[in-house]
A and B are shown apart, each in its own frame.
Chain A
Amino acid sequence: MTLGYYPGCSMHGTSREYDESLRAVIATLGVEMREVHDWSCCGASSAHLSDHLLGVAMPARNLALAEEQGIDELLAPCAACYNRLSGATHAVAEEPGMAEKIPEVIGRPFANSVRVLGIIEMLQRQAPIIARVAEASRPNQLEHLNIAAYWGCLLVRPAEITGFDDAEQPRGMDDLISACGAKPVSWNMAVECCGGAFSVSRTSSVLRLSRAIIEDARSCGADAILAACPMCHGNLDFRQGAMSLRGQPPMPVLYITQLVGLALGLPPEKLGFARHFVDTQPLFAHLAQEADKAAVAAAERDAAKAAKAAAKASAVAAGERSS
């Protein structure tokens, strides 16, 4: 079955590396994916504030296009688009009169038959394959990566629409990190807000909220933060330069598709790391160093084991001679 793809506006602009790494991962996994033709903006983060109907109608046009183009399942990797699209399907299904109103407003037939998929749900389906590839490449550098799964707001809330296991402590991203062969960090800010749409209009609030997230990740032992939302990534990565990090080194922020791409053995150049504001090179250097250390330790262990075995063998041989 072909998966529909709704990139959303940011994936064509400030979060290009999310789109690039997603496409690379999808191609490697052999999933067929087709972009919705002539898609328009879903209206996040502004339409729903001024008018609830507009907040439903803007995403509904795209859902209607997907329907017309024979798409049953629509992947919306941007957390804000995912929130608006799935919210619209919910509103049309639940709110009285909405199912009749929407086709009239958008000027298209609309049966509300498309299922909206978030990035985590889509990748969870592929987790066994990802885990198999990652396992086969062991020992690898990702084993030494401690990473904090950052959900933010829009992927998990509202819980009755997104349907994740737990609105406060969801597991899905941690499981994916494990499937990739990396280590999920246990921390406190996984579902806290980064300041989202205030990135431009109230930057001071974003700096306060995002810095708290970065500092908590660091104090819980994370080498990097894992994000699945262009707004979160922008606030944590792009805005980090304006934060006081109290002498600590910058914290790299990876998209989940970039981590999965690495686990699948894709070269970092193909995953758009060069587009980040926080340089990821020190992180990769650290991982390579840890991997070397582990390799040396393993070799030493093996040598010690061999020496012990040899000593035992010679002792046995000596014992046999003396008897």
Chain B
Amino acid sequence: MRRTADINVARCYQCGKCSAGCPMGSEMALAPHDIMRLAAHNDRETLFGDDAMWLCLTCETCSARCPNDVDPARVIDALRELAAAEGAGHSPRNVRAFHKSFLEQIRMTGRLSEVGLIMQYKLRSGALFQDVAASPGMLTRGKLPIVPPHISGVGEVRAIMAACERERVARAAAGQTGPDTHDGEGAS
């Protein structure tokens, strides 16, 4: 964790302020301060075996209130990155479907088409009928442009995504013994 996010999780003294202010805390089996402790102990099995870190909204209330500047929000972001790199962890299907669809939309057009995002999300998550009743309201209010956006720099955007992907693969290859041995330089 120290290498990945340049954060010393061991500085956390378990005051629990992060968990007290967390809007999603009541829905998590592992509260933010539990996540910090498990991260300090490098207990990936427990961490990745629970979906708590995928429920983080990155609202950063925890980081704003942390009395010892440990930055739990950044730690959780880094954990999600590690879990994805290791092919571990169980993000809830819906959450995963949303993020995948989001990035896929950007790859396609360079901008996010909200219509496209929702369509893809429905296919990925299986929630085909979610919000169907709301769509006419969105349309009549002019909030859902049907024509997808297009920018001339879409190739550039794809190249950026590909470059980051290459970096990610290279980082994973460099750190065969585990993500903590990753070279944190630049991309961490």
Contact = CB atoms under 8 A, between A and B. Distances in A.
A250 interface: no
Interface in A22-48: 38-41, 43, 45-48
Contacts of A200: 98, 117-118, 121, 130-131
Contact of A197 (B57, B63, B118, B125): B57
A129 interface: no
A12 B78 contact: no
B17 to A, nearest CB: 12
A58 B160 contact: yes
Interface in B89-109: 92, 94-95, 97-99, 102-103, 106
Contacts of B161: 54
B174 interface: no
Q: How large is the interface on B (under 10, 10 to 19, 20 to 34, 35 or more residues)?
A: 35 or more
A223 to B, nearest CB: 22
Contacts of B187: 52-53, 97, 101
A320 interface: no
A13 to B, nearest CB: 4
Nearest to B159: A107
Contacts of B145: 12-13
B114 A13 contact: yes
A12 B149 contact: yes
Contacts of A270: none
A101 B58 contact: no
Contact of A45 (B58, B138, B167): B58
B86 interface: no
Contacts of B77: 48-49, 52
Given A157-B64, A275-B143, A57 B164 contact: yes
Contact of A277 (B57, B78, B84, B137): B137
B64 A96 contact: no
Interface string B51-81: 0000101111101100000000100011011
A165 to B, nearest CB: 14
Interface string A241-261: 100000000000000000000
B153 A61 contact: yes
Interface residues of A, number: 65
Contact of B24 (A108, A154, A205): A205
A105 B160 contact: yes
A58 to B, nearest CB: 7
B27 A98 contact: no
Contacts of A198: 57, 95
A100 B186 CA distance: 8
B59 A196 contact: yes
B57 A16 contact: no
Contacts of B131: 200
Interface in A53-108: 53-54, 57-58, 61, 65, 95-98, 100-101, 104-108
Nearest to B112: A9
A159 interface: yes
A10 B102 CA distance: 13
A158 B66 CA distance: 12
B98 A158 contact: no
Interface in A174-199: 191-193, 195-198
B188 interface: yes
A192 B22 CA distance: 9
Contact of B157 (A40, A167, A209): A40
A197 B98 CA distance: 9
A201 interface: yes
A46 B164 CA distance: 14
B20 to A, nearest CB: 13
A48 B114 CA distance: 19
Nearest to A277: B137
B110 A157 contact: no
B151 interface: yes
6 contacts: A40-B156, A48-B58, A49-B58, A54-B164, A107-B159, A276-B141
* Closest 7 pairs between A and B when the two form their complex, measured CB to CB: A97-B186, A193-B59, A201-B98, A153-B59, A9-B112, A46-B102, A157-B60
